[in-house]
Structure formats: C-alpha cells, structure tokens
Structure 1
Amino acid sequence: MTCVITEAVPSVDEARPRSSSISGKLNWLRAGVLGANDGIVSISGLLVGVAAVNPENTGAIAIAGIAGIVSASLSMAVGEYVSVSTQRDSEEQLIRLQRRAIEADPAGQERRLARMWTSKGLSPKVAAQVARELTEKDAVGAHLTAEHNIDPEDLTSPWAAAFSSLIAFICGALLPLLTMLLFPPSLRIVATFVSVLVALALTGYVSAWLGDSPRGRAVLRLLTGGSAAMALTFLVGHIFGVNA
C-alpha cells in the first residue's frame, strides 16, 4: 500500500488574518480605558488642587468639578473622533487604491497576493491556490487583510470611539467629584486619594484582563501616574493657596 502525503490547504476563512476583529476590540478598549483613566486622574487632580486651597469651599469644588468634566469630556470625545476619522480616511483610501489596482490588472494582483502568502510560509503551490480562492470570494478584502490587516467591512468607527471615550471619561470623573462632595471637609482630600487609587487599580486590572496582558504592570502604571498627578496638583494648590 502506498501512503500519499499531501500538503494541507488552508480554507478561505483560515487563510484570512483575524486581526481586524482584534483591532476593533482593542480600539474600543483603548478609548474606554483612556477615557476612564483621564477622567479619574484629571478631575481628581483638579479637585485636589482646589481643595488644597480651602477644603471647606464646597461651592468652588463643585463648580470646578462640573466645569472640568463638561469641558474635558467633550474635548476628549472630539479628539477621539478626529483621530479615528483620520485613521478611517486612510483605510478608505487604501480600499479605493486596491480596488483600482485589481480592476486594472486582476491577474497581476492575484499573483501578488500569492507572493504575500508565500512570504508568510506557504509553498508556492498552496499560496497560489489560497490566493485564487480568496480572490474569487473577495479580491479587495483578501489584499487588504493580507497586506494591511484591514477588513473593508469592519472599519474603525470614529463615532463609537468618541462615544466610548465620552461615557468612560464621565464615569471616571464622577468618582472624585462625588467623593469630594460627600465626605466632610477634613476628610475630602484623603478620601479622594484613596478612592482614586482604588479606582485606578481596578481600571488597570480590568483593562489588562480584557486585553490579556500582565495585570500587575498595568495596575502599577496607573497607580504611579495617578499618585504623581494628585500629589503635584495638591502641592500647586497648597503653595498658591498659602501665598494668595
């Protein structure tokens, strides 16, 4: 009996890179974590600086906190929208260029796709078969996923990133504001420090868990940055408050 060994040929779905869905997930995660972290750190720093001047001035603390949340959250959302819109514009331009290239030379583009798969480790025969099957199903998508890790059917949404960042910022910023307003003046700064550090630790842990990255490193980064920000703003508020 003769045993014939053949090289396995990946299916179309197996051959397609799966990084587009991961990139979408990471983009939402990045916008959410950045928004929550910025809301916690920036507003807590602002409030600690104001409270360092006079912790009993509840009105000034409340006005500073609300004004800071409104302006900073909108600014961050707009920044996310502009940033992701630029990325999406670049992706759409790549799609248009790839579509024109395929229309101008379909056979040449299929050979080019086969060479891409050869460079990824497939034999020339298998690479040619994969390129042919992918081209028959979706030529433009095949090139974009293989060369740029872009799924033309799943482009990054600037509105989703902006909304995610806006909501996350507000949720994060409410913690130091409510802590300042709910605790008595003598405990406001200490309570805000403690609550913010706990929130940053949780934010770092959850973001690392969702992104499948080291938890301790993420927590340490956020705790270090948050502690430094609050300490510096407290020092600024205390110095200027005493000298005023």
Structure 2
Amino acid sequence: MATDNDTKLAVAELGPTPAPEAMKLCTVCVATATHDAMSLPSQQGQWLRAAVLGASDGLVSTSALMLGIGAARPADPRAALLSGVAGLVAGACSMAIGEYVSVHAQLDVELAGLQRLEEARGYPADRAGLPNPCHASAASALSFAAGAAIPLLAAWFVTSYGVRVAVVVATATLALAAFGALGAVQGRAPGGRAGLRAALGGLVAMAVTYGLMKLFRTHSD
C-alpha cells in the first residue's frame, strides 16, 4: 500500500529524471494511495456481503426447486428432498467455480497494476491486500450450501405435502428477511425495508416455480 512517505521517497529518488516522468510517477503513487485508502471500508465488509449474497442465493434457489418438484410429484416427498440436495451440491459447485474465475480475473488486473507501479518506483509494492481466489471460492460455496441447507433441514422429516410446502415457504421467507436486513445493516442502511424486499423477492421466485410446475403437472396428466 502506497503512503505519503512512499510518494516522497519515490520522487526524491528520481534525481535527474525529466519532469514529465516525475509527474507521471507521482501521479501513479498518489492515485494508488488514494485508491487503497478508499477501498479499506469495502474490503472490511466484502466477505460479509459475499456470504449474505451466497446464502440468499442458495436459500431461494433450493426452496424454489423443492417447491417446484414437490408440485410436480406431491405424493413423493423424497423427490423434493433429493432435488434440494442436488440443488445444494450443484449450486455450491457453480458458485465456487464462478467466484474463483471472477476473483482470479480481478487478481490478474491488480497484479498488472502493481507491476507497473513497481517498475515506475523501482522497488516492490505491498501485496498483502490482494484477493485470494481459493479463499473466495470456498467462502462462496460454503455460504451457498449454508443457505440451501435451511429449507432442506426444515422439511427433512415432514411427510405431509401441504405441511412441507408451508414449512419451506415460511422458513425461507423468514431467513431471507434476516439475510436482507443483515446485509443492509452491515452497509449502514435501514434493515427493515431491505429485509422486506428480500422476502418478497424470494416469495415471487418460489411462487413462479411452484406455479409453472403445477401447470406442467396438470397438462401432463
């Protein structure tokens, strides 16, 4: 991370360097220091935001999948549970791969910028704050799996179709509201409205999936 002392030292070491090069180096150092200082708050909360997003994604997709398969095969409770397990595994793998590719691309960009900075300054830059693709991938997969496990555990021992639907919907709605409020509070925004938006969004997703699969079952009989 570049500091004021780094900038002064880099400019002092220039010696007879032409003025345009000195100005370019000073601009790079100051821009890097400003960027690092402004990104500190976002770096502190990025893991929580990613965890909330991953858990919400797992919760919505798995709940909707269980309700949809349950609507298509209401007499077979195992079908809904197995679809939930499959959704958990597939979703966690997808999130892990997507996060790894995304963070690695970000890492490549930041490394290229640091390399240019090091060439301009003449000494190594601090690389302690660079993102770790493996850590981000694991965190994304675990958060998705944790969210997906909520409706699965809630409905695991419920054999009645109607009760299972009610349990999944109620559990998913409450958990989504909590996740939405948590993410908003972490960003210093009102949590109530964010929780309501998250809950309504999840209800829409579950209703659409349930309705389409119910319609499909009606026309296929």
Q: TM-score range by the shorter chain?
A: 0.7 to 0.9
Please point out which of 103, 111, 115 is paired with 1:84: 103
Deviation at 1:54, TM superposition (A): 2.7
Contact 1:55 1:188 in 2 (8 A): no
1:170 and 2:145 correspond:
yes
CA distance in 2 between counterparts of 1:11 and 1:88 reads 25
The answer to whether structure 1 residue 225 and structure 2 residue 196 are counterparts is no
Q: Which amino acid aligns with 2:188?
A: D
8 Å contact kept, 2:100–2:134: yes
Aligned counterparts, 1:8-157, within 5 A: 18-103=37-122, 152-157=127-132
Q: Partner residue of 2:156?
A: 181
- Indicate yes or no: 2:174 matched with 1:236: no
Taking only aligned residues, the RMSD between alpha carbons, in angstroms, comes to 2.3
Would you say the 8 A contact 1:31–1:80 is kept in 2? no
Of the candidates 192, 197, 218, which is equivalent to residue 168 of structure 2?
192
CA distance in 1, matches of 2:49, 2:96: 13
The question of 1:160 aligning with 2:179 is answered no
Deviation at 1:198, TM superposition (A): 0.2
- The answer for unaligned runs of 5 or more in structure 1 is 1-9, 104-138, 142-150
Aligned length: 190
In the other structure, the counterpart of 1:125 is none
Counterpart amino acid of residue 180 in structure 1? A
Which residue identity lines up with residue 96 of structure 1 in the other structure? Q
Amino acid paired to 1:178: L
Identity %: 37
Aligned-pair CA distance for 1:71: 0.8
**Partners of 2:72 and 2:127 in 1: CA distance:** 54
| TM-score between both structures, scaled by the size of structure 1 | 0.71
Q: Which runs of 5+ in 2 are unaligned?
A: 6-32
* Secondary structure in structure 2 of the residue aligned to 1:212: coil
SS of the residue 2:112 aligns to: helix
Cα-to-partner distance string for 1:42-76 (whole Å, 9 max, x where unaligned): 00000000111233312211221111111111001
Contact 1:27 1:161 in 2 (8 A): no
Q: Which shows bigger deviation, 83-92 or 15-24?
A: 15-24
Contact 1:45/1:229 (CA < 8 Å) preserved in 2?
A: yes
Does the residue aligned with 1:18 lie in a helix, a strand or coil? Answer: helix
Secondary structure of 1:156's aligned partner: coil
Cα distance in 2, alignment partners of residues 210 and 163 from structure 1: 22
2: CA distance, partners of 1:86 / 1:30: 19
Map Cα deviations across residues 174-233 of structure 1 (whole Å, 9 max, x no partner): 111122322232211111111101000111111222222221232133112101100000
TM-score when normalising by structure 2: 0.78
